[in-house]
Amino acid sequence: MSFRTFLKSLENRGDLIKVNERISPKFEIAYVMSRLADGPALIFESVEGFKNEVAGNVVSTRRRVYAALNVSNSALYKTMIEAYRDPVYPKIVDDGPVMENVREPNLLEIPALTHYERDAGPYITAAVVAARSLDGRIENVSIHRLLVLDKNHLAIRLVPRHLHKLWETAKNEGYDLDVGIAIGVHPAVMLAAASSPPFGVSEFGIANKLLKGNLKLLKCKSVEAYVPYDAELVLEGKILRDKEVPEGPLVDMTGTYDVQRMQPVIEVTRIMHRNNYIYQALLPGGPEHRLLMGLPREVAIYESVSKVVPTVKAVNLSEGGCGWLHAVISIEKQTDGDAKNAILAAFAAHGSLKHVIVVDSDIDVYEPKSVEWALATRFQADEDLIIIRNVRGSTLDPSADQQSGLTTKLGVDATMPLSKPKGGFEKAQIPPTERAEKIIESLKQSS
């Protein structure tokens, strides 16, 4: 159930490619990852200037997410909701594979990638950061980008959520915040870390539930933090209370550069790693980034909309919407107000959401042409449009106010009006015959 065993399972299924040509961690690996994002996972075996292999595009497709959790498409939301509602905290162990090597920090020996031409420098982008409150009662586990500054310092991007709250609390009491940073963990841990349970609920409990009780943690030695015992690489350190540096620019989920900000510094106190550890790279703005961040939000939207509409068929934080800003939701409508209730519930579930389109259950939310057809045939702007002005959105949206995050949100009811005959909105079908199907198959084979 580790990162390494998951990669092995992908290789056994023919869903992983090993790249043995020599390649640079500055731009070249990122470029290959971007061009092959829809294909198999990648392992770069010969990284220029470094000893360790780099894995990329590990869960850049939905089918690999389903494989990681051992669930079907239809069971994903249910499985994740059960994990959110009934987390099980992992067993604590004294030793594990990640402790095969323990040493003084030298971050310059880690093959962190420089991804885009205007990046501030090499970034660690698949880092799961775990921290506890000073009394040890509250634990938070989340994913953060880390800019490599020197041998033992990183800049961390902290948005005003749970880890930021723990850091602010520690800072106000005169302490640095201890953190354990794990790189190369099972995708279930990444998905859990990308979720947003209530403050005080440890994401490690969610991950352990997703892994059917097979996650184990060990306590860091130089700091008060816990990490997966089978991670590839762990950095122990402290988020300093009194030091900030310019962080960024770096490309985020929108595929555009996030703005530069003053952000806290992590002082790394110790490194431990497996023998010949595999470094996990995650392409900023790529499909894997959008899936890992977006899927937990899809689950939150599904659960929220299910409370106001009897049947929710599917939710898609669309690729064109950066896996973050646009949601397409299909429902089985009972009354003409259901779609608008669904829109409001979706905005409540995911604060960064900018545009929501609600369609009927016969529309494929993953097929843009199908959604556009619903807009063309079932939507009237003077009746079916909701506009909400000057509300908090996402600072990742370059068209929003970058400081306050204020934006305008839009909801579209593209469902069939129940006041008109249903037959007028159904797409016409041509009855298939066995002979026609055989002819089609024959033509495909000859072409």
Query: Which of 292, 73, 85, 327 lies closest to 195, judged by CA?
Result: 292
336 is catalytic: no
DSSP-derived pairing of the beta strands 355-360 and 406-414: parallel
- Within 10 angstroms of residue 5's Cβ, the number of other Cβ atoms is 11
SS3 of 383-421: the string is HHEEEEEEEECCCCCCCCCCCCCEEEEEEEEECCCCCCC
Do the Cβ atoms of 220 and 238 come closer than 8 Å?
A: no
Q: 149: Cβ–Cβ under 8 A, 6 or more apart, which residues?
A: 121, 155, 245, 265
CA angle 382, 384, 389 (to 5 degrees): 85
Single-letter residue type at 367: E
**Which two tokens mark 223?**
């700091």
Token digits of residue 62: 């939905």
Region label for 322, one of left (φ > 0), alpha (ψ between -120 and 50) or beta (otherwise): left
- By C-alpha distance, which of 5, 214, 182 is closest to 90? 214
Distance CA(32)–CA(30), nearest Å, equals 6
Instruction: Convert 140-182 into a string of H (helix), E (strand) and C (coil).
Output: EEEEEEEEEEECCEEEECCCCCHHHHHHHHHHHCCCCEEEEEE
The answer to whether 58 and 281 have CB atoms below 8 angstroms apart is no
Asked whether 252 and 394 are in contact (CB, 8 A), the reply is no
Q: How many other CB atoms are there within 10 angstroms of residue 306's CB atom?
A: 17
Torsion angle, CA of 399/405/408/410, rounded to 10 degrees? Answer: 90
Does residue 25 have a cis bond before it (omega within 30 degrees)? no
- The helix/strand count (H/E) of the chain reads as 12, 21
DSSP letter, residue 108: G
In the set 252, 258, 338, 397, the catalytic residue is: 252
Q: Which residues are catalytic?
A: 252
